[in-house]
Amino acid sequence: TLDKRDHAGADPVAVLAEVFGYDAFRGDQGDIVEHVIAGGDAVVLMPTGAGKSITYQVPALVRPGTGLVVSPLIALMHDQVDALVANGVRAAYLNSTQSAGERAGVEQALLAGELDLIYVAPERLSNAATTRLLQRAQLSVIAIDEAHCVSQWGHDFRPDYLALGDLDERFPGVPRMALTATATRATHTELTERLHLPDARHFVASFDRPNIQYRIEPKVDPRRQLVQFIRAQPERSAGIVYALSRKSVEQTATHLQAQGIDALPYHAGLPAEVRAANQSRFLRDDGVVMVATIAFGMGIDKPDVRFVAHIDLPKSVEGYYQETGRAGRDGDPAIAWMAYGLGDVVQQRRLIDQSPGDRTYKMRMGQHLDAMLALCETVGCRRQNLLGYFGQDSGPCGNCDTCLTKPDTFDGTVAAQKLLSTIVRLQRERNQAFGAGHLIDILRGASTERIRQQGHDKLATYGLGSDMSDQDWRSVVRQLLAHGILVARGEYGVLAVGDEGAAVLRGEAEVPLRRDVLGRGGGTARARK
Ligand code: ADP
Ligand code: ZN
């Protein structure tokens, strides 16, 4: 209709009902809306799906003028604007996908005061013309979505966000909001500083997703483990399987199909029409398993995803949390399952080392990986570890694999010392360094050609670890990496003594390791029952 509703000054709850069709605000939404309508700045940390959009859309409607939304996801802008327009909101966007004519139309509507909301990509705001345009309009509120992108230590840094720090000078008196679904304590502080929000009120929602059960098991035969996991789920459960590479996505989808599972591939290399068709089948039909790279899922609103499975290690805890967060949006029980192995660690280290980034970048990526490893190898509650990463304290959850089956621990100090002293001897006596495979061969007293050639059977630690299987040793290495006792370096994942390793070598620190994962294939919790 042409009825251009004017909600300026209206009751926010009435706007929520009339425009969006919801009876009540959820969680902090009402407080945030009230605070912003009164002209206050806000920093909003809420998990995906909690309903951040409402918190700026309602103030944009109630306050006079146009709400400016800075959003980096051009692909989502279109959908968001369409959904708003369908609700009778006068919304539009400005981005690089538009023709000059389209842009001119939007600009005209903005200046005529005919827009409730305008979505703009961050790079547009670095340009003076856009600033001048927006200065000629009346802005009701400025919402910076995905605000963690301003953090250089985050997993999603975008340089364009740095230019958003002076929006208060460019648009004085307009309340500003920074919103994100992923922020550690450090990122939270950093985005508050960089976006210049010293007086903002902070609204931090719980990041807990109690209906999601977290399970992480060692990778032995990932495809078999994955099939076993999916078969253990109720018939026709919808799920997402995340893999790192396009090739792995396609091979895994094919494998699942051959096993009679209704699986489809999704990655950026597929033709657009195939991607669209697969996505709409996933959304429409029951029980489709989407095998995808992380490109899939952003902005996909499917509430009844029953599981998210990772067959490769995510690059960061933030990424893991976001991806697993796509499960169980309806609040019903859901599972976040992952298989991970030593190969993942070595591969990710290699990717970091080979990346074109500078030293700081590599260090930051390394820290993200370390945090991810710590989550994988924790003997404590997974949820506690995860929430702790986001700065939230909690007790053991009772709904993760380590809570459900307390991992057996044993004193791994001697095993660690054997491995560390092998590394140290090779380094000191021969100036050599090796990856896990060869070191384990030495410890297990294997008679490989490489060992004979190098004369490593003459080392004092040769055969000292023959009481443990290759699999056991790999588990020990993973855990030592996660504890910082070992570090993996370079293209071949060469092992060296980590910061925490020296004390272990001197016998000054104990090394509790988990036993249940040792040599037990994929079973972990279930195999013990
Ligand atoms: P976020 O941006 O935090 O990921 P969205 O703003 O996309 O979340 O909202 C997630 C879902 O919750 C959407 O389907 C939205 O319509 C719905 N929603 C938001 N607020 C409410 C509310 N007060 N009552 C009911 N549903 C809501
Ligand atoms: Zn737990």
Closest CA to 509 of 520, 499, 517: 499
Q: Is 191 exposed, middle or buried (0-12, 13-18, 19+ CB in 10 A)?
A: buried
CB-based pocket (< 6 A), ligand 1: 22, 25-26, 29, 46, 48-54, 301
Q: Which of 54, 70, 329 most suits a substitution to test ligand 1, by most atoms within 8 Å of the C-beta? A: 54
Single-letter residue type at 392? Q
Single-letter residue type at 100? A
Per residue in 251-308, pLDDT tens? 999 999 999 999 999 999 999 999 999 999 999 999 999 999 988 887 677 999 999 9
- Count other C-beta atoms under 10 Å from residue 76's C-beta: 16
Spatial contact of 459 and 442, defined as CB atoms under 8 Å apart: yes
Per residue in 383-398, pLDDT tens? 999 998 888 889 999 9
Q: What is the ipTM of this complex?
A: 0.97
Q: What residue owns the CA closest to ligand 1's atom 5? A: 51
Which residue bears the tokens 């599981």?
Answer: 307
How far, in Å, CA of 179 to CA of 45, rounded?
Answer: 6
Spatial contact of 451 and 457, defined as CB atoms under 8 Å apart: yes
Q: What DSSP string runs through 445-484?
A: T---HHHHHHTGGGSTTTTTTTTS-HHHHHHHHHHHHHTT
Can you list the positions of beta strands (E) in 137-244?
Answer: 139-144, 176-180, 201-204, 212-218, 239-242
CA 385 to ligand 2 center in whole angstroms: 9
CA angle 188, 192, 196 (to 5 degrees): 165
Q: What residue owns the CA closest to ligand 1's atom 23? A: 25
Q: Which of 20, 45, 302, 322 most suits a substitution to test ligand 1, by most atoms within 8 Å of the C-beta? A: 20
Which residue bears the tokens 């703009």?
Answer: 120
pLDDT at 516: 58
Beta bridge partners of 26: none
Per residue in 45-69, pLDDT tens? 998 778 999 999 999 999 999 999 9
Better pLDDT: 474 or 288: 288
Spatial contact of 503 and 511, defined as CB atoms under 8 Å apart: no
β 201-204/42-45 pair status: parallel
